[in-house]
Homo-oligomer: A and B are copies of this chain.
Amino acid sequence: MTPTPTPAAQENWLRLDNQICFSLHAASRAFNSVYRVILKDLGLTYPQYLVMLVLWEHGDLPVKKLGEHLRLDSGTLSPLLKRLEGAGFVRRERSTVDERSVEVRLTEEGAALRERAVEVPRRITVATGFDIDGIRELRTRLDELTTALDAAALSDTPGCS
């Protein structure tokens, strides 16, 4: 069936790799799809929703801090925040004490949106088909994975034979 002389072991590695990376990729996009449907009422995309979650939890923040919470840089956040400002959910105001910094502030409308967003998490949880413990377990695994991958991306290990 496989005409290549490659050892079976390498075939298995390739296949296993396919499984894990593809599974994560697919799960991420599936999550995105569900959020797209649920967040449409609120007029938010999924990454915009993440920004609003951070602002609801921590209050007004400079772009820099927002990026640290979300692990996103200004190249991603700047246009995203402009769209949120265009939608009327946030204002961007350059700090008076440090002119380099831009404060992202919730508008009345943005703060009020929280009331309507409160039901989102439960709907998402239901959609996952997981119970609380299952979600917690999965979250822990994913965070472990992210930590390990971040470390690997830094050390790189390009010369690995």
Q: Which residues of B contact A18 (CB under 8 A)?
A: 50, 53, 57, 121
Distance of A19 Cα from B132 Cα, bound (Å): 12
- Cross-chain contact A33 with B153 (CB below 8 angstroms): yes
Q: 1/0 per residue A1-39: CB within 8 Å of B?
A: 000101000100111111111111111111101110100
Q: What DSSP secondary structure best describes chain A's contact surface?
A: helix
Name which of A90-98, A100-108, A138-146 contacts chain B.
A138-146
Residue of B nearest to A160 (CB): B123
Q: Which residues of B contact A41 (CB under 8 A)?
A: 158
- Cross-chain contact A33 with B149 (CB below 8 angstroms): yes
Q: Which residues of B contact A46 (CB under 8 A)?
A: 21, 25
Q: Which residues of B contact A87 (CB under 8 A)?
A: none
A42 contacts B by Cβ under 8 Å: no
- Cross-chain contact B145 with A130 (CB below 8 angstroms): yes
A150 contacts B by Cβ under 8 Å: yes
Q: Which residues of B contact A132 (CB under 8 A)?
A: 16
Q: Which residues of B contact A120 (CB under 8 A)?
A: 17
- Cross-chain contact B28 with A24 (CB below 8 angstroms): yes
